[in-house]
Amino acid sequence: MNNQVFWNPVLETLPRETLQQLQLKKFKRIFAWAFTHSKFHRSIYDAAGITPDDIKSLEDIKRIPKVEKSMMRGIQCKDPFPYGDALCVPLEEVSTFRQTSGTTGQPVYQADTWQDWEWWSECWSYVLWSQGYRAKDRVFIPFGYNIFVAFWAGHYAAEKLGCEVVPGGVLDTQSRILKIQELRTTAMMATPTYILRMADVAKNKMGIDRASLSINRITCAGEPGAGIPSTKKRMEDAWGAKVFDHSGATEIGAWSFECESQPCGMHVNEAMFLVEIEDLDTGGIIEEPGKKGKMIITALDRMAQPCIRFDSKDVIEWDSEPCSCGRSFRLIKGGVIGRSDDITKVKGVLLSPGAIEEVVRSINGLGDEFEIVVDKQGDVDRIKLKVELLPGTPRTSIENKLKDRLRLKTNLGYLIEYYDYGSLPRYEVKSKRFKDLRKKSMSEKECRL
């Protein structure tokens, strides 16, 4: 088993046509299940005049209404409490409560049965196996085990693979680093922000040499960092480890993974999820590689609170090349590029915070932290970029390089503010480095109305 390349050698290498037949079969099953068991789903499908009998091909799926997060917020706290009528099973079958982090508004509750938890850990098993986790690994998980799904299912999947799991829950950063050192753990899962933060604390606060830490593989999730080449390089250099990307979500599941071939992108687990990419302007479905759009996703096997054509707001694009690892699951290029909420127009040009991150992290002499603030000066948009200089780095040595690379990458000019190392906010889980103050003033206005 440990020499096996794939977690599921049959499903991960299915010819595309067979894979699509499987997706259609599973989609019909989950759609009929929700149609029959969820009043919420039934009402939106009735309004659109669609029944399970109408779905005969993948093409037919495009007509099915999408589900937005705001719709899920609208039904919760109603019966069956607290999930509302998207729940497809009796309440007594629910075994786990989770909620979304609420970064974009009121958190959404998520019910899972024991069967759904088995499914979660199966999804994560694909992720970990493809990244080289095996039974010999001792895996450290430095996250606050709580109401957020984060690495819970990663924990169970690592156990399922036979790894030895060290739950690094209620420990501070320094204690976690000491535990990694003491137990010689070989692998770790955390957000890119926290991976960099831990490396910073180990080196600059504790004087610990990375050679004394034996982490050789790291799985990142929660933010796009491991898909941004310069951020990934910083993490790999700081830990002397291979860093892999993964993306999942509370309402969706663990839908993607970067494999050991590190193809600068992630595989979609197409045996368990159906991913469609929607054009941001036309609303049509993008089939071809190289065009960015927003991900609409279906979890094909999740039963208690189904995820059917969910509007994830993640911006992705198909890769034109297959992966050298041999999996037939399609790749998305560069991972999740950003959130459609965050990709905004500044002076008429599309701005992605990920592009700025890529530039900042590519410059030696700048710290890992930065902050982007977009506001208006009079009627004109302005982007303020706050960066930190590492000790001993003269500002003059990087000023022009930073400006030039930003202009080249994003076609925009910036007001750059330089700070001493250690002065910008530090984050333990997900960062809040992008602020669009123009949006805030708009929503304040909307509230008043």
Give residue 293's identity as a one-letter amino acid code: G
Q: Compute φ and ψ for 255, nearest 5 degrees.
A: -95, -10
d(CA 132, CA 127): 9
Count the residues of the shown chain that bind Zn ion, applying the rule CB under 5 A: 5
Question: Considering the complex, what minimum distance in angstroms separates the CB of residue 227 from Zn ion?
Answer: 14
Give residue 91's identity as a one-letter amino acid code: L
d(CA 238, CA 261): 21
Task: Please identify, using beta-carbon distances, which residue of 226 and 366 lies nearer to Zn ion.
Answer: 226
Task: Please identify, using beta-carbon distances, which residue of 180 and 325 lies nearer to Zn ion.
Answer: 325
Q: Is 328 in the site for Zn ion (CB under 5 A)?
A: no
d(CA 301, CA 122): 11
Contacts of Zn ion in 179-218 (CB under 5 A): none
Task: Please identify, using beta-carbon distances, which residue of 131 and 352 lies nearer to Zn ion.
Answer: 131
Give residue 170's identity as a one-letter amino acid code: V
Task: Please identify, using beta-carbon distances, which residue of 217 and 327 lies nearer to Zn ion.
Answer: 327
Q: Is 325 in the site for Zn ion (CB under 5 A)?
A: yes
Binding mask 251-290 for Zn ion (x = CB under 5 A): --------x-x-----------------------------
**Strand partners for 268:** 256
Task: Please identify, using beta-carbon distances, which residue of 86 and 127 lies nearer to Zn ion.
Answer: 127
Question: Considering the complex, what minimum distance in angstroms separates the CB of residue 427 from Zn ion?
Answer: 30
Q: Is 44 in the site for Zn ion (CB under 5 A)?
A: no
Cα separation values, 285 from 61, 209, 230, 249, 277, Å: 11, 49, 31, 22, 6
The Cβ of residue 15 has, within 10 Å, a number of other Cβ atoms equal to 9
Question: Considering the complex, what minimum distance in angstroms separates the CB of residue 49 from Zn ion?
Answer: 41
Q: Is 166 in the site for Zn ion (CB under 5 A)?
A: no
Question: Considering the complex, what minimum distance in angstroms separates the CB of residue 100 from Zn ion?
Answer: 29
d(CA 188, CA 276): 31
Task: Please identify, using beta-carbon distances, which residue of 104 and 261 lies nearer to Zn ion.
Answer: 261
Q: Is 315 in the site for Zn ion (CB under 5 A)?
A: no
Among 61, 323, 372, 374, binds Zn ion (CB under 5 A): 323
CA atoms within 13 A on the CB side of 180: 33
d(CA 122, CA 259): 16
Task: Please identify, using beta-carbon distances, which residue of 148 and 244 lies nearer to Zn ion.
Answer: 244
Q: Is 359 in the site for Zn ion (CB under 5 A)?
A: no
- Residue 138 contacts residue 162 (beta carbons within 8 Å): no
Q: Is 221 in the site for Zn ion (CB under 5 A)?
A: no
DSSP element (H, E) containing 435? strand 434-436
d(CA 46, CA 170): 47
Task: Please identify, using beta-carbon distances, which residue of 12 and 301 lies nearer to Zn ion.
Answer: 12
Candidate segments 214-222, 242-250, 319-327, 362-370, binder of Zn ion by CB under 5 A: 319-327
The residues of the shown chain that bind Zn ion, judged by CB under 5 A, are 259, 261, 323, 325, 327
